[in-house]
Amino acid sequence: MQAIVLVGGEGTRLRPLTADVPKPAVTLVDRPFLAYAIEWLAAHGVTEVVLACGFLPDALREALAGEEERAGVAITYYAEPEPLGTAGAIRFAADSLGDRLEDRFLALNGDVLADLDLSALLRAHEERGARATIALHPVADSAAYGLVSCDEEGAVLEFREKTGEPVPGRINAGAYVLERDVLDLVPAGKAVSIEREVFPRLVGDGLHGLVLEGYWMDIGTPERYLQASWDILEGRVETRVEPTTAGMLVAADAVIAEEASVGPRAIVSPGCRIEAGAEVADSVLLDGCTVGRDALVSGSILAPGAEVEAGAALRNAVVGRDERVPG
């Protein structure tokens, strides 16, 4: 089974974390974000992950070095000449695969952390003879997502992208089973959105949805990135990560002064240093960060090499690579 994974977005809402690495390559807890998706796909029988890249494909390749062997899947990279939108990018990757593209394949948004049952999605698609089947996830506020309504058999009645209305509903979880012929609806070489242009056209013509139980999170904002980190470290989603204690991951080589306070939720990555009197809570320190004497870091994300100087106070912030926060 092949899975085409969309990883071409710029990740603007996570800047400056995504200033020099694409969102799927950003470290989540202790590994590139996309490693979780690859592991998830492999667990459901995917043998080839096809990455539809736009922005910075080399950084992604670098971040995923060794992942093929670890997950036991082949990874293929295709970079679009220009952003082609969600459907255009799937079409571009499909055309690049040529005859190697299977008649039925999975397509996924590359910024979703989930353990939904993709095997059940594939089974439902097959049983219903669908052309496209969308994984659905119930949320309390659907405003920023694709809102999907279905009849009792699961046929989609309406697909509305980003309604802006804060109402509960079943949303597009960003995981699809697609029949190859769906790509005939996507003109080659043009920017096309699967949510706005393709799914609405397939309503009543083979578009199905299936609500799947399980963990699901789009990590596209700092708040959700942090929430996903704690969900991993507190076991709400199953991953290969091994926490130091629930809610905490502290690298063996991190240097933490005895008089510093770290946690109850925190990630302290390799090469980090936390000096005496400093307080780090509900925060993620990526590789090689320093928190100076008596500094406070709370609800924040520090990109690799960031430094919070002595006495500084940082709350609910994202600090870019090698940036300094003055005291």
Binding site for ligand GDD (CB under 6 A): 6-9, 52, 54, 80, 83-86, 89, 109-112, 145-146, 161, 171-172, 174, 195, 218, 220
Q: Of these, 209, 220, 222, 292, which contacts Mg ion (CB under 5 A)?
A: 220
Q: Considering the complex, state which of residue 9 and residue 304 has its C-beta at the smaller distance from ligand GDD.
A: 9
Q: Is 30 in the site for Mg ion (CB under 5 A)?
A: no
- For residue 181, the SS3 value is helix
Specify burial of residue 271 (Cβ count, 10 A radius: 0-12, 13-18, 19+): middle
Q: Is 22 in the site for Mg ion (CB under 5 A)?
A: no
Tokens 């695969």, residue located: 97
Q: Spell out the residues 6+ positions from residue 74 whose beta carbon is closer than 8 angstroms to its own.
A: 47, 48, 49, 68
Q: Shortest Cβ distance from residue 95 to ligand GDD (Å)?
A: 13
Q: Considering the complex, state which of residue 37 and residue 314 has its C-beta at the smaller distance from ligand GDD.
A: 37
Q: Which residues of 14-40 are buried (b: 16+ CB within 10 A; e: fewer)?
A: beebbeebbbbbbbbbbbbbbbbbbbb
Residue 316 to residues 119, 173, 223, 284, 307, Cα–Cα distance (Å): 38, 27, 9, 11, 16
Q: Considering the complex, state which of residue 134 and residue 289 has its C-beta at the smaller distance from ligand GDD.
A: 134
Q: Is 218 in the site for Mg ion (CB under 5 A)?
A: yes
- Residue at shortest CB range from ligand GDD: 8
Q: Considering the complex, state which of residue 111 and residue 197 has its C-beta at the smaller distance from Mg ion.
A: 111
Q: How many residues bind Mg ion (CB under 5 A)?
A: 3
Q: Shortest Cβ distance from residue 261 to Mg ion (Å)?
A: 34
Q: Of these, 30, 39, 111, 197, which contacts Mg ion (CB under 5 A)?
A: 111
Specify burial of residue 266 (Cβ count, 10 A radius: 0-12, 13-18, 19+): buried
d(CA 26, CA 63): 8
Q: Considering the complex, state which of residue 77 and residue 120 has its C-beta at the smaller distance from ligand GDD.
A: 77
Binding site for Mg ion (CB under 5 A): 111, 218, 220
